[in-house]
Amino acid sequence: MRVKMSSIHVIDPAAAFDFYTGTLGFEPLMVLPEYNLFIVQAPNIPDGPGLLLEPSDHPVAEAYRTGVYGMGLPAVVLGVDDVQAEMERLSALGVRFTGPPSTDAMGTQAVFDDGCGNYIQLHQD
């Protein structure tokens, strides 16, 4: 058993698609703009899980998204080889981080705002 797809609620799926592909480097997996359906996946992992950029247009979904965001909690954790290098790359592209990277027993992490209604955590083992 493995994760096939997961989702993240976003304010605007098309704008999120542009950010996740153009800035973060994800690859399109399925794009059906007429259905407001945008799914991306990590590059170089053809059988990897998809990430559905889910419209947050249902009241329950929007309450969840705004609640998680309001508490400053990351909606998803993305693994990277080097948090500091990725933070520098993304910062140069205008991505806003909530603070400097931190390291603890779990690894190194940094959190940024995806501009689509979520905080995203980068994590390095």
Q: Would you list the domain boundaries of the chain?
A: 5-124
Fold assignment, 5-124: 2,3-Dihydroxybiphenyl 1,2-Dioxygenase; domain 1 (3.10.180)
Whether 47 and 56 have beta carbons less than 8 Å apart is answered as no
Least confident range from 1-5, 35-39, 42-46, 94-98: namely: 42-46
Task: Evaluate if residue 105 carries a pLDDT over 90.
Answer: yes
Task: Evaluate if residue 115 carries a pLDDT over 90.
Answer: yes
The Cα-based distances of 69 to 27, 29, 58, 113, 115 in angstroms read 25, 26, 16, 9, 11
Distance CA 69, CA 9 (A): 11
Mean pLDDT throughout 50-54?
97
Mean pLDDT throughout 48-70?
95
Q: In the prediction, which pLDDT does 46 show?
A: 83
